[in-house]
Chain A
Amino acid sequence: MIVLVTGASGFLGRAVAAELVAAGHQVRTLQRRPSGVHGVTDVLGSVTDVSLVARAVDGVDGVVHLAAKVSLAGDPREFHTVNVGGTRLLIDAAERAGATRFVQVSSPSVAHAGSALSGVGAEPADPENAHGDYARTKAEGELLALARDSASLHVVAVRPHLVWGPGDTQLVERIVDRARRGRLPLLDGGTALIDSTYVDNAATGIVAALHRADTAHGNAYVITNGEPRPVGDLLAGICLAAGVTPPRWSVPAGLARAAGSAIERVWAIRPGSDEPPMTRFLAEQLSTAHWFDQRATRRDLDWTPTVSLDEGLRRLAAHYREA
């Protein structure tokens, strides 16, 4: 089929576009910068540009919507414009263009109000209780997309959790960079059990959602490796793969959350060029359990991860050795 991928210049978007090409689909992409993916047609621009979006969806069968403002801080209006407005615009255009499948790539944080999550499924998105502008606007975007699910346009939401892998500049690079500078503590001893997703698995999971949209539509699914680990183990694994010393010191999570809140307030007044070193959202993510029930995901999407955590870490290590 003909598939449009938005946000294909990002770490996960690139992997999804490549996976779709490998699966034999005709792939078009939409984002500001060239995707760099072999075998796709890039349309360059913003998902908030009405005429450009209309052109991008013309003639497609399916849409995989990854483009989003992903950040821990920034102007709240901008989050809304991209993550809510962009989604609405794209789904309107897709419907008009006669597309039959729409995969909304979301995040487990849309249903997370800060307490520990152990073995939960994909609860409904909850913008009112989501923490931070990113999670709130992604929650609104997901609700909006799922509300548009219909007999003619099958909408599925997927929420890959904590995607990492070689070439990841968001999570892995930040961890490694901070660890290298000795600025990466564990929170509360790093015992919080968290799920994560190796990038290849996230990509195959999203493609599976597109393939299964005819039966799985109307639902949201969390996608993970299904191998929860204490956050300290995961950070240590990533650091060791990158050849840096894993964090050994621990700070109380309560302190980190308080510091994160304070920093967020300062950043709101005087935005820096870098991301803030700690936010309340990040402190929560690194100090409370987040692991998920994968049974419905695997059954409904007829999908299982192909790269284990250990294999993923080996590939990450190989990547750093080459670099």
Chain B
Amino acid sequence: MVTEGASLPPSGLPGLDPRFSRILRVPGRGVDAGLSREWHHLDTGDELASRGIATAGTILAVHGNPTWSYLWRGVASESLRAAESGRPAWRVVAVDQLDMGFSERTGVHRPLHQRVSDLAAFTEALALDGPVVTLGHDWGGVVSLGWAVDHAASLAGVMLLNTAIHHPEGVPIPAPLRLAGARGVLAASTVGTTAFLDTTLALATPSLDRDVADAYRAPYRTAERRRAIGGFVADIPVDARHESFGELDRIAGAVARLDVPALMLWGPNDPIFSDRYLDDLADRLPQADVHRFEGASHLVAEDRPYADAVLTWLEDNGERLSGLDPSSPRAAASARRTSTGSPDGPPFVPLWRGLDERREDDSVAVVDMAPRGKSEPRRVSWRQLDDRVRKLAAGLHRMGVRKGQRVSLLVQPGPTLTAVVYACLRIGAVVVVADAGLGVKGLTRAVRGAWPDVVIGEALGLTAARTLGWPGLRISTARLPRVAAVALGVECSLADVIELGTGAPVPAPPGPGDEAAILFTSGSTGPAKGVVYRHGQLSALRDVLAAHFDVTSETGLVTGFAPFALLGPALGTRSVTPNMDVSAPRTLTASAVAAAVRESDARIVFLSPAAILNVVATADALTTTDRAALTHVRTFLSTGAPIGEQLLASAAALMPNATPHTPYGMTECLLVTDVTLDGVRAAAAAPDRGVCVGTPIGSNRVLVAALDADGRPTAAPSDEAGVLGELVVSAPHLKDHYDRLWLTDRAAENGTPSGNRGAAAGERWHRTGDVGHLDADGRVWVEGRLPHVIVTADGPVAPVGAEQDVEGVEGVRRAAVVGVGPHGLRQAVAVVETVPPTSRPGLATPELTAAVRASTALPLVAVLAVPQLPTDIRHNSKIDRSRVSTWAESTLAGGKTSAP
């Protein structure tokens, strides 16, 4: 066996500051007892000391297999820069594990427990004392946690990048590792050739620069120097008989008792350390801040700005990490879950209270006007619904579904979905509502990101779950033939769950602080984000809806628009799903609405703009009885996307006694403001730019963070009228947080009263990403999305005002105003759909161009006509301005013109 001392890395490796490289001789332990070993490591301590900077503590960084301390060059350099600029100074010590990187080749087999004691020997020889925050990646994550659980006195926190601490029994280890671990393949792929090394480096997304990849390969040039890469793979405990299983199990158990701040940064596209392991770690460390970098993979440290995230987190948690704040992070996380709502607020009334109160009532609670395969509406009474909810709740609980576990629902709105949702809420299982509006790719990303424990679905949804490899125990809504059930990996049907729950007790209910549901943003500006609501927040939503729209047990509700479709039982009023394909609102007809209203004698109708468009278009088919039924409607709402005054008025004409409302909100805060048709008409006379969305509902508040010359909303939020900026909102029913998106959460609250800790107790604020302004009457005007603001040489311009001008030109059906050119020098371009539609995209006619230019004060460098503007999938109405902008940019650069 060849042994070789430690050495310094060659000079000139990109991004690696040679001043940090050190070699330390360390007295050995375990198999090395009586020997000493040379460790190469990076250490910024001397550089900090030479600048006279006192440190807040040390980041002890441990690489995985087959990388080396080069992985941590970013955090080493950036922490030094941060310290120089006066931010908290953290010393970085990043080791090359023995037999790895440029540390000594010992020729000795080193299983996990040996590596954990090696690291302890190293820190002792270095005389490292606290506070220490560990940072680990891959197998280095396990070693770093091993050090963490053994050094409670100096441990201040733990930080992890893609790693795993526990592997569930009965689940095969990830395929690539099974292959690499197979006898014969192991030696060949890991040691004999550079295949394992190359494969790991190839996981970087986008791919590594050649010189960076070469730097990773630098210590592993020969088979002898690569020997430990094979050793590491062989050390993966595939089962309980493995020599490292016991040590891994010890560490995994101890991690679940660690009471220090924790951070996890994850690349979800990792074929090895997938979301399964993140989910496991998040359960063990419930106090952790977790951020999944959508699109990043195993080498998340190369894929994303992890060092910046690490330093930000250290700064945010400064008081706890330094011991100034001695409170328990674990207790704080749990206190948040068990909180009973705000102390001065109204007492918490759970969502299922409406059901409880009417459990003896035989009148209709939920109606599905067109249950699949049936011609008659399906009616469910309050008594039946309550009974089904209780049995499902008890059955799910008996199956092992517990509070905090996630249940993904792939079920069309209707009585079944309603019953399942309330059963989950009742036992504290978190409902994951991902809808088809995200598209298959978006839906897959959403479901995998939420990592559900259970999937309840119809055959179609379960087929998708099976083929796309979504996680979770599968339950089908209908009883499936055995063959189909096996094929779809389905454990049981809802009927089985009900059977199981019959006569069984329902467990203790969750409290207002427990997580209740995860909804998804539409993904029109980046990947869809999971939005987490707690029970108290959903109850607040119900209450604000009831109060603002005067919903009582007698009003009744017609809606095909999730998630409002699910609130009927919580509001204690009957709810009806009209005959439509709920995932395609365009399929709703006027007759179907009338039939639903007649069936339930509902006073309130909730629709989305896309549905309203078709309802108005099919109004001719309404019979006299239909029209008579519609006169009973008192309140009519259009929600989900902006709607034009004309369309709202046309729909209102079908319901002559109804007050039309068009509330403004978003997945993160479903009701922010509201305006009636009269309010819309009154606003038309105002000189303001944008869409008037009315005034805040209930105790909601809306402020504006003014845009600076660079188009960034840097100003402190204020209620000053007439200032263009990002809308910042506060509401009792505002979302709690984004799911596993700590950085996004931070950005959404940054600079708001709650982000500055300047908010009143219990007050939470959210940056909406919408831009607009307030007027002197306190009305809110929306002028577009923040990323769509056009930053010209004369300052930022929001697109909606100019779009409204252009849409007033004869011959223009719809318009998007977007920017082309470099940021800060953007030029505005109008892209229009014409009447009649143009057959091919290109310059608008000179006449139309002149008319469009004359319609607005905004200088337009070009007017382009397209057959159709791209819109989002969910609402089919929000124009994808980012895509239009990219298209306009390439078209106006010259070259062949394609469709946007």
CB of A119 within 8 A of CB of B822, answer yes
Q: List 20 A-B contacts (CB under 8 A).
A: A116-B894, A118-B889, A119-B826, A188-B896, A191-B862, A191-B891, A192-B892, A193-B820, A193-B862, A228-B861, A229-B861, A230-B862, A230-B892, A240-B846, A253-B894, A287-B895, A288-B894, A289-B893, A293-B825, A295-B793
Which chain A residue shows the least CB distance to B862? A230
- CA distance in complex: A293, B826 (Å): 10
A236 at the interface (CB under 8 A from B): yes
A141 at the interface (CB under 8 A from B): no
**From residue 113 to 143 of chain A, which have CB atoms closer than 8 A to chain B?**
116, 118-120
A227 at the interface (CB under 8 A from B): yes
* Interface flags, B883-900, vs A, CB<8A=1, else 0: 000000101111111000
**From residue 218 to 275 of chain A, which have CB atoms closer than 8 A to chain B?**
227-230, 232-233, 236-237, 240, 246, 252-253
A102 at the interface (CB under 8 A from B): no
- CA distance in complex: A230, B852 (Å): 15
A281 at the interface (CB under 8 A from B): no
A34 at the interface (CB under 8 A from B): no
* Interface flags, A175-197, vs B, CB<8A=1, else 0: 00000000000011111110000
Contacts of A294 in B (CB 8 A): 793
- CA distance in complex: A249, B843 (Å): 12
Q: Contact check: which of A118, A237, A246 meets B821 at CB < 8 Å?
A: A118
> Chain B residues in contact with chain A, CB under 8 A?
793, 820-822, 825-827, 842-843, 846, 849, 859, 861-862, 864, 889, 891-897
CB of B821 within 8 A of CB of A119, answer yes
Contacts of B827 in A (CB 8 A): 119, 193, 228, 291
CB of A191 within 8 A of CB of B846, answer no
Tell me the minimal C-beta distance from A213 to chain B in angstroms. Answer: 25
CB of B821 within 8 A of CB of A188, answer no
CB of A253 within 8 A of CB of B893, answer no
Contacts of B864 in A (CB 8 A): 191
Q: Contact check: which of A120, A191, A233, A240 meets B894 at CB < 8 Å?
A: A191
CB of A253 within 8 A of CB of B895, answer yes
Q: Contact check: which of B825, B846, B892 meets A246 at CB < 8 Å?
A: B846
Tell me the minimal C-beta distance from A303 to chain B in angstroms. Answer: 15
Q: Contact check: which of A119, A189, A193 meets B842 at CB < 8 Å?
A: A189
Q: 15 new A-B pairs (CB below 8 Å) besides A119-B826, A189-B842, A233-B849?
A: A118-B821, A118-B893, A119-B822, A120-B822, A188-B894, A189-B897, A190-B843, A191-B894, A192-B892, A192-B895, A193-B861, A193-B892, A227-B861, A230-B861, A291-B861
Which chain A residue shows the least CB distance to B864? A191
Contacts of B892 in A (CB 8 A): 118, 191-193, 230, 289
- CA distance in complex: A193, B819 (Å): 13
- CA distance in complex: A171, B846 (Å): 21
Which chain B residue shows the least CB distance to A117? B893
Contacts of B894 in A (CB 8 A): 116, 187-188, 191-193, 253, 287-289
Number of interface residues of A (CB under 8 A): 30
Given A188-B895, A188-B897, A192-B892, the answer on whether A232 and B843 have CB atoms closer than 8 Å is yes
CB of B822 within 8 A of CB of A293, answer yes
- CA distance in complex: A136, B687 (Å): 53
- CA distance in complex: A192, B889 (Å): 10
Which chain B residue shows the least CB distance to A118? B821
Which chain B residue shows the least CB distance to A236? B846
Question: Which of B822, B826, B849, B895 is the most central at the interface, judged by chain A CB atoms within 10 Å of its CB?
Answer: B895
- CA distance in complex: A193, B889 (Å): 9
Contacts of B895 in A (CB 8 A): 116, 188, 192, 253, 287-288
Contacts of A289 in B (CB 8 A): 892-894
Which chain B residue shows the least CB distance to A226? B793
Tell me the minimal C-beta distance from A289 to chain B in angstroms. Answer: 4
Top-6 shortest CB links A-B: A192-B894, A119-B821, A116-B893, A288-B894, A193-B892, A119-B825
Tell me the minimal C-beta distance from B790 to chain A in angstroms. Answer: 13
Which chain B residue shows the least CB distance to A284? B894
CB of B862 within 8 A of CB of A233, answer yes
Tell me the minimal C-beta distance from B846 to chain A in angstroms. Answer: 5
- CA distance in complex: A189, B896 (Å): 8
Given A230-B862, A233-B843, A233-B849, the answer on whether A191 and B825 have CB atoms closer than 8 Å is no
- CA distance in complex: A232, B895 (Å): 13
Contacts of A291 in B (CB 8 A): 821, 827, 861
- CA distance in complex: A253, B793 (Å): 31
Which chain B residue shows the least CB distance to A192? B894
Contacts of A237 in B (CB 8 A): 846
Tell me the minimal C-beta distance from B656 to chain A in angstroms. Answer: 48
CB of A288 within 8 A of CB of B896, answer no
CB of A192 within 8 A of CB of B893, answer yes
Tell me the minimal C-beta distance from A116 to chain B in angstroms. Answer: 4
Tell me the minimal C-beta distance from A153 to chain B in angstroms. Answer: 32
- CA distance in complex: A48, B793 (Å): 42
Contacts of B843 in A (CB 8 A): 189-191, 230, 232-233
Given A230-B862, A253-B895, A289-B893, the answer on whether A191 and B821 have CB atoms closer than 8 Å is no
Q: Contact check: which of A120, A190, A252 meets B896 at CB < 8 Å?
A: A252
Contacts of A188 in B (CB 8 A): 894-897
- CA distance in complex: A118, B893 (Å): 7
Tell me the minimal C-beta distance from B862 to chain A in angstroms. Answer: 5
Question: Which of A118, A191, A236, A288 is the most central at the interface, judged by chain B CB atoms within 10 Å of its CB?
Answer: A191
- CA distance in complex: A191, B896 (Å): 9
Contacts of B859 in A (CB 8 A): 227
Tell me the minimal C-beta distance from A251 to chain B in angstroms. Answer: 11
Contacts of A118 in B (CB 8 A): 820-822, 889, 892-893
